[in-house]
Amino acid sequence: MRLIIFSLSYTFLIWGIFSSLTPTYASAEINVWPKPTSLSWPHPQAALLSPGFYISSPNHPYLSPAVNRYLLQILTEHYQPVVEPSVNLSASAPPLQTLAIIVADLSAPLHHGVNESYSLFIPSDGDTANLTAETVWGAMRGLETFSQLVWGNPSRVPVGLYLWDSPLFPHRGIMLDTSRNYYPVKDLLRTIGAMSANKLNVFHWHITDSHSFPLVLPSMPELAAKGSYGPTMQYSPADVAAIVRFGLEHGVRVLPEIDSPGHTGSWAEAYPDIVTCANMFWWPAGSEWADRLASEPGTGHLNPLNPKTYEVVKNVISDIVTLFPEPFYHAGADEIIPGCWKADPAIQSFLSDNGTLSQLLEIFVNSTFPYIVSLNRTVVYWEDILLDDNVKVDASFLPPEQTILQTWNNGPNNTKLIVSAGYRAIVSSSEFYYLDCGHGDFIGNDSQYNQPPTSGDSGNGSWCGPFKTWQAIYNYDITYGLSQEETKLVLGGEVALWSEQADPTVLDARIWPRASAMAETLWSGNRDESGMKRYAEAMDRLNEWRYRMVSRGIRAEPLQPLWCIKNPGMCNTVNPFV
């Protein structure tokens, strides 16, 4: 403990020295993504990394594997930047021999709001760099930063550098839908690894939907046996344990979502009596859009009036809580389609006795929400549960202290509605954060494609088109229009990849590097020291980061021709050289 206190004091002393200096970023010499909160490098120079370089750290079940992983990467990566750094090797700096990690609190769990801050000091006159963090999760963030600072063969590292880093938002995630198309475990692990490299910390796993139920649950094995696409497209409890542990070793929480009562058609394969309108054509012939049975092909809602529904649902919830240690439980509750419930005779009778669809949803929530809370979980719902025009619950059913709402419609307006009502919000506005948008639609024989050449339809059949560029994502300020107090209720954001038109063959390119753009805005913001948005500067850095991700096995899509990257600034709209 005395060593920790000494090291923390040493860090504050170093910070006191460097804080009097103006933070500087030499243009091509430092490229850490996301950009650190505060960095000082007053005399840009580098030293060699010793061939015997090693990392000293406390023993910890999740930090120790991370240290071993990063040590191997640092010693073997030898990444060669597209734009060669112009920094010179110091004539006096010795080779860097050691990275010493000091962690103040080794017991802090990977929960929402955990301290992820760290500081890193690489001296110009010594052979030991110091990484100091409050928690092991902050230490992992610092290890990633250090790994990005190393380049070349032989390996080099900047010296005389100090940085302090901490995220703006505690919740920074990616939502992936594994129901519409299946992703093998290796793809999920690769995605989590790439998230960690981008300092994202929540893998929101939308596991089930109307299309398939791929998760094998110990108490309800029939759900996957009959509701999945087949035995080779299932996630076993052992798979889940491996994914959760991999997440912990990378500082990424795994947040499960079991959507209900809507989006549950796959449940009907095992339990047909608890699902209304299952396996029916989604848009009956001659019907208006308002009378459809689903928002897209794949029908089915759980029946709130059937007591057996709650036997099954509670078993599912219990298994999920056992499999996933994450304190948040995402219960879905989006897109309740009136026509699906109205197709059931018992519900028709309920409605004829002056019952309402919203009362049906309230019955369901009142029968499931308290049970989830009793298992020490905070419940996350999609915004629809409170904001839908047709079917929603009264706010009295959702105590704000136990409820988080995730936005996806109407941009900053719905975020405003949620936080002004006192709820915490996770922002996933489809106008900015939906990664599947802009690829047309998957509906066959759709007349919306039969447009005259002069129609000017920029959506091209995609309900949420156009394509969300990295610039659009980088531009989005998730607290736009909020008061200071309302801003405190915004936990962060998630980009979302719904998988109607995505599968393992396109996974990496759909997500990266666009998710990297959000990662930086939620970590250190999207503006420079003068308050201006830093598109051009971010483009140069994101290009370089994209190439490094590719070298690490992430098949991220390109942003520019290679010529632009090799000639920084030459592909800008405004000439930066005058």
Q: HSE (CB half, 13 Å, CA atoms) of 459? A: 11
pLDDT band at 297 (very low <50, low <70, confident <90, very high): very high
Does the pLDDT at position 451 exceed 80? Answer: no
Question: What is the pLDDT averaged over residues 392-410?
Answer: 98
CB-based contact 167:46 (threshold 8 Å): no
* Helix, strand or coil, per DSSP, at residue 545: helix
Q: What is the pLDDT of residue 575?
A: 87
Evaluate the CA torsion angle 499, 504, 505, 506 in order and state its sign: positive
pLDDT of 24 > 70? The answer is: no
Query: What amino acid is encoded at 71 in this protein?
Result: L
Residues 6 or more apart in contact with residue 212 via CB below 8 angstroms: 179, 180, 182, 227, 228, 229, 233, 266
Side chain identity at residue 523, one-letter code: W
Question: Per-residue confidence at 529, pLDDT binned at 50, 70, 90?
Answer: confident
Interval 246-258 mean pLDDT: 99
Q: What are the tens digits of pLDDT across the range 113-125?
A: 999 999 999 999 9
Count of CA atoms in the C-beta half-sphere (13 A) of 336: 32
Q: What is the pLDDT of residue 13?
A: 38
Structure tokens at 369: 């929400």
When pLDDT is averaged across residues 467-496 and rounded to a whole number, the result is 98
pLDDT at 545 > cutoff 80: yes
If pLDDT is split at 50, 70 and 90, which confidence band does 27 have? very low
| Residue in the structure block whose two tokens are 């549960």 | 385
The pTM score is: 0.94
List residues with catalytic annotation. 335
Q: Is the pLDDT of residue 164 over 90?
A: yes
3-state SS of 305-335 is CCHHHHHHHHHHHHHHHHHCCCCEEEEECCC
* Dist CA 154 CA 508 (whole Å): 30
Model confidence pLDDT, tens digit, residues 318-334: 999 999 999 999 999 99
Q: Calculate the CA 5 to chain-centre distance.
A: 34
Instruction: Say what the pLDDT of residue 482 is.
Output: 98
pLDDT reported for residue 150: 98
What domains can be seen in the chain, in order of their start residue? 2-165 (3.30.379.10), 171-444+460-526 (3.20.20.80)
* Cα dist from 142 to 50, 198, 239, 364, whole Å: 20, 12, 28, 44
- Do the beta carbons of residue 165 and residue 36 sit within 8 Å? yes
For the segment 205-246, what is each residue's pLDDT rounded down to a tens digit? 999 999 999 999 999 999 999 999 999 999 999 999 999 999
| Mean pLDDT computed over 335-349 | 98
Query: What are the tens digits of pLDDT across the range 484-509?
Result: 999 999 999 999 999 999 999 999 99
Please give the Cα distance from 294 to 543 (Å, whole number). Answer: 41
Nearest to 83 by CA among 570, 572, 489: 570
**How far lies 435's CA from each of 410, 449, 498, 530, 556, in Å?**
16, 21, 8, 30, 13
- Section 513-534 average pLDDT: 95
How do strand 378-382 and strand 490-497 relate by DSSP bridges?
A: unpaired
Contact present, 213 and 179 (Cβ < 8 Å): yes
Average pLDDT over residues 522-549: 93
Residue 101 has pLDDT above 60, yes or no: yes
pLDDT surpassing 50 at residue 281: yes
What pLDDT does residue 17 have? Answer: 36
- Which among 178, 179, 196 has a CA at the least distance from the CA of 187? 178
Residue 461's pLDDT is: 77
Alpha-carbon distance of 180 to 210, in angstroms, equals 8
pLDDT surpassing 50 at residue 202? yes
Whether the predicted pLDDT of 549 surpasses 80: yes
Rounded to 5 degrees, φ, ψ at 152 are 85, 175
Give the pLDDT of residue 20: 35
Strand partners, 103: 133
Average pLDDT, the chain: 93
Query: Percent of the chain scored above 90 by pLDDT?
Result: 86
At residue 446, what are phi and psi to the nearest 5 degrees? -95, 125
